[in-house]
Amino acid sequence: MTYSPIPNPQKGYLLFDDGTKFEGVVFSEGDACQAEVVFNTALLGYSEVLTDPSYQGQVVVFSAPMIGTYGWNREDMQSPRITVSGVIVNEYSDAPYSLAKVLKENAVLGIEQIDCRKLIKYIRERGCIKGIITTQPNGVYNIIHSTEKKSPNTKVLKLENDSATYHLGVLDFGIKSSILTELKKRKCRFSILPWDITLDQLKELKIDGIVLSNGPDDPRDYMDSIPHLNTILETYPSLGICLGHQLIALALGATIEKLPFGHHGTNQPVLDLNTEKIIISSQNHNYTIAKDSIENLPIKATHLNLIDNSIAGIAHHSLPIISVQFHPEAAPGTSDAKEIFNKFITLL
């Protein structure tokens, strides 16, 4: 497949509040926006990345030198729509049923011919900060550095499975479809629930366990939910993934810190402290558990990220609670970490 230059290309820009400007060419027309800018180191799996609810409201910069070569496969989507606010690549390659077509359908601006290596070095030096992706370089912009947590679902969605043994309540902060797929393979059916559901409401559903899903936000913005989350964890076997992992840690008394530029990609090496094996994991988050904050708590670290030695998994000493910072279903990524689902089934 050969790269076809876009005729009469329109200029596109990424602007930061210190005056730094990156200039490229638009390959997908979309809305200008301001959003947190993060980089992803995956070589494949852009369909999964761009539909992952954990990237809600972010501009994603791909470190892979070329994006778009294999088009778009709806079966790879992790949610019904594109969730990112903007896409930046070094070189875009068009294909039948192309990435550009899907981005344009979702009004997501895509820019290519940007020096992504230089841009990623800039992010690593300054941290994950907000920028503006636009086609107008000379406008007057006010980059607002604020956070607002995702609103909860307002209804219960039941997903049946004729071969199910277990009924799981999924607290939905932005669940990926591949997580449900892996649990369905292990004879689970689901009730997808608003994250602020009460213990009494859970008991009415007669569930066997809880899954706290991944999601896009700062877990500290959910502190008002922590008291009732504590009672849920004391009542049900629980699995936390990504944001859900951080919320479990908060509910059990740990402290959460923001990483300088987060972990976003499919090549994060993680040490399993129980088996002393190393797995290659898929991760997408900007926050982590402060290591010294769990020293006097009834939880222990089960996994460490070998890039920065941050906590990548925890377990409760006596309650059936496990959680991981990485995405055990991958999507995209390797299948190294799927054993986490089996461990959770054992707890059930």
Active-site residue numbers?
Answer: 242, 327, 329
Residues 6+ apart with CB under 8 A from 236: 169, 202, 207, 208, 209, 210
Cβ distance 61 to 123 under 8 Å?
yes
Q: Is 49 exposed, middle or buried (0-12, 13-18, 19+ CB in 10 A)?
A: buried
Q: How many residues does the chain have?
A: 348
Structure tokens that stand for 151 in this block = 């609103």
Q: What is the DSSP string of 210-256?
A: EEEPP-SS-GGGGGGGHHHHHHHHHHS-EEEETHHHHHHHHHTT--E
Cβ distance 239 to 209 under 8 Å?
yes
Task: Look at residues 48, 41, 82, 83 and name the one whose alpha carbon lies nearest to residue 217.
Answer: 83
The 3-state secondary structure of 285-308, one letter per residue: EEEEECHHHHCCCCEEEEEEECCC
Q: Is 276 exposed, middle or buried (0-12, 13-18, 19+ CB in 10 A)?
A: exposed
- Separation between Cα atoms, residue 79 and residue 75, nearest integer Å: 10
Structure tokens that stand for 114 in this block = 């940007």
Task: Look at residues 284, 331, 30 and name the one whose alpha carbon lies nearest to residue 181.
Answer: 331
For residue 10, the 8-state DSSP code is P
User: Within 13 A of 255's CA, how many CA atoms are on the CB side?
Assistant: 9
Q: Is 138 exposed, middle or buried (0-12, 13-18, 19+ CB in 10 A)?
A: exposed
